[in-house]
Amino acid sequence: MSELKKIKNALISVYYKDNLEPIIHKLNQLGVKIFSTGGTQEFIEKLGVNVTPVENLTGYPSIFGGRVKTLHPKIFGGILGRRELQNDIAQFEEYEIPEIDLVIVDLYPFEETLANTTDESTIIEKIDIGGISLIRAAAKNFKDVVIISSRSQYNYLLDLLNKNTGSSALSDRKQLAAEAFHTSSHYDTAIFNYFNTAGQQAVFKQSIAGSKTLRYGENPHQKGVFYGQLEAMFDTLSGKELSYNNLLDVDAAVNLIAEFKELTFAILKHNNACGLASRAKLIDAWKDALAGDPVSAFGGVLVTNTKVDVETATEINKLFFEVLIAPDYDREAIELLKQKANRILLKQKPVKQTEKTFRTLLNGVIEQDKDLKTETIADMKVVTKLAPNEREKTDLEFANKIAKHSKSNTIVLVKNKQLCASGVGQTSRVDALKQAIQKANDFKFDLKNAVIASDAFFPFSDCVAIAAKAGITAVIQPGGSIKDKDSVDYCDAHHVSMVMTGVRHFKH
């Protein structure tokens, strides 16, 4: 068993006082001498517990508006002094430095402040100096010191104090030190990224607090972990744990549905929309989304941007699906959909998402701005003699949104704000178009007067020729091919309108 070390002196200086009271009373009961500062000192005094102000130890008051309180040799010496070295022991006595065996400190809420204001002076004042120094010092000397660096550890500390009657084992101290260095590195990363917003320093630094071990990764033989806080984005109302593949689909679904302001329902499979429709009523949006590909919808991820009512839930309940995401649900709808225990029902919260994306690649990481560009009708440049009519313009905008969120190469077919079919992830744009037309025909869609969207330019006129023969009357694409004129000329000769946006939406 690890040697137990008795806690004789504690330094407590925290921003958040929640759940601190039981610890104070326990330390007092154990006869531990408590040193403290400012608001924490006042909090302890109000509990009727003896506390020694840090100023009494250092001989200096809190100065510079509280910027300097604990930065003093009598504090850091008490934390960093090595109890097993005779020279350090002699200096403890010579300079009348108490051995500080427990440090409880948290940090100014830098990330929370950053999320709530853009005022630089306010943000800068929330960069902790004394706290971060205390955390690192105590963690470095884990052989002698217990470091509590987060209020989330208060229950753990209280259990430790009760179990060992005020003593700590080396294994506990080392584990807490590891958590402390995580706290300090995460904090410093957030500060660095604030100062490096423009990317002046060409380095990649990310720190994500919180993690969840998944059942497995993309396949059962691969391990998987999600790093982040899903509970900040979703309330899980029912169902099993999200898998790695579920998470990929949920991410795709949330990003896709965010494009639509009108009441919309979408069905995704392997990160691509296989059904999507915008309608005045949710039940109609669901039925028309399902009609897009009722085969692929089996086992899919469903998402909508409005409350799920019991009428729609009754129809959804007929389908086997993995996940349903909505901003809200009628109570009766939840009870109905929960009848199948493994179904995952998520209530999405209004959380701002990241504006950067990154992934591992080769022996490093690539990072880019998230694709936040969405073209509207106003961005469409008519390049043919024939201009699209109002219905076609609306469908072109609709189709372009879906193409943006589909795997390249992709072609999307739309009619009356309903996804008729799409060809996705093809090595040839012609193959993507042929795949889309074949699927639309399989599910009995009439493509006369439908529109198509392409995520990138047409290198030749073959795609518009195939589309026109299928009944397509309007095309949206970025443009940019050296042979754009060939596609435009074909459209002019066959009474097809074409608009260009100048924006490509590759997605790999």
CA dist 96 and 74 (Å) reads: 8
Q: Which two tokens stand for residue 84?
A: 């097993």
pLDDT at 2: 54
Quote the DSSP letter at residue 379. Answer: G
Kind of pairing between the strands at 364-369 and 225-227 = unpaired
CA dist 332 and 39 (Å) reads: 49
Per-residue HEC secondary structure of 75-108 comes to HHHHHHCCCCCHHHHHHHHHCCCCCCCEEEECCC
pLDDT at 1: 42
Kind of pairing between the strands at 364-369 and 356-361 = antiparallel
As a 3-state breakdown, the chain gives helix, strand, coil percent values, each rounded to 5, of 40, 20, 40
Tokens 């009961």 label which residue? 29
- Beta-bridge partner residues of 266: 276, 303
Q: Which two tokens stand for residue 38?
A: 């400012």
Buried b (16+ CB within 10 A) or exposed e, 81-103: beeeeeebeeebeeeebbbbbbb
CA dist 355 and 394 (Å) reads: 27
Q: Which two tokens stand for residue 268?
A: 């995704």
CA dist 49 and 41 (Å) reads: 10
Buried b (16+ CB within 10 A) or exposed e, 127-157: bbebbbbbbbbbbebbebbbbbbbbebbeeb
- Show pLDDT as tens, one digit a residue, over the chain (508 residues): 457 999 999 999 999 899 999 999 999 999 999 999 989 999 999 999 999 999 988 888 878 877 887 888 899 999 999 999 999 999 999 989 999 999 999 999 999 999 899 999 999 999 999 999 999 999 999 999 999 999 999 999 999 999 989 999 999 999 999 999 999 999 999 999 999 988 888 898 899 888 999 999 999 999 999 999 999 999 999 999 999 999 999 999 999 999 999 999 999 999 999 999 999 999 999 999 999 999 999 999 999 999 999 999 999 999 999 999 999 999 999 999 999 989 999 999 988 888 889 999 999 999 999 999 999 999 999 999 999 999 999 999 999 999 999 999 999 999 999 999 999 999 999 999 999 999 999 999 999 999 999 999 999 999 999 999 999 999 999 999 999 999 999 999 999 999 999 999 999 9
Q: Please give the single-letter amino acid code of residue 237.
A: L
Kind of pairing between the strands at 300-304 and 321-326 = parallel
Q: CA nearest 283: which of 309, 301, 262, 261?
A: 309
Q: CA nearest 81: which of 99, 54, 68, 56?
A: 99
Helix axes of 73-80 and 130-140: crossing angle, nearest 10 degrees: 30
Instruction: Please say whether the beta carbons of 343 and 356 come within 8 A.
Output: no
CA dist 3 and 282 (Å) reads: 65
- Which are the catalytic amino acids? 140, 270
CA dist 235 and 112 (Å) reads: 21
3-state secondary structure of 378: helix
Instruction: Please say whether the beta carbons of 340 and 318 come within 8 A.
Output: no
- Angle of CA points 483, 488, 493, to nearest 5°: 130
Q: Please give the single-letter amino acid code of residue 451.
A: V
CA dist 244 and 221 (Å) reads: 12
Question: Is the overall model pTM greater than 0.85, yes or no?
Answer: yes
Q: Which two tokens stand for residue 348?
A: 């999405």
- Beta-bridge partner residues of 148: 104
Q: Which two tokens stand for residue 481?
A: 């091919």
Determine if the peptide bond prior to 162 is cis (ω within 30°).
no
Sorted by sequence, the CB contacts under 8 Å of residue 373 that are 6+ apart come out as 503, 505
CA dist 153 and 23 (Å) reads: 11
Cα dihedral: 453, 395, 265, 251 (round 10): 30
CA dist 479 and 373 (Å) reads: 16
Within 13 Å of residue 498, how many CA atoms lie on the same side as its CB? Answer: 30
CA dist 235 and 49 (Å) reads: 41
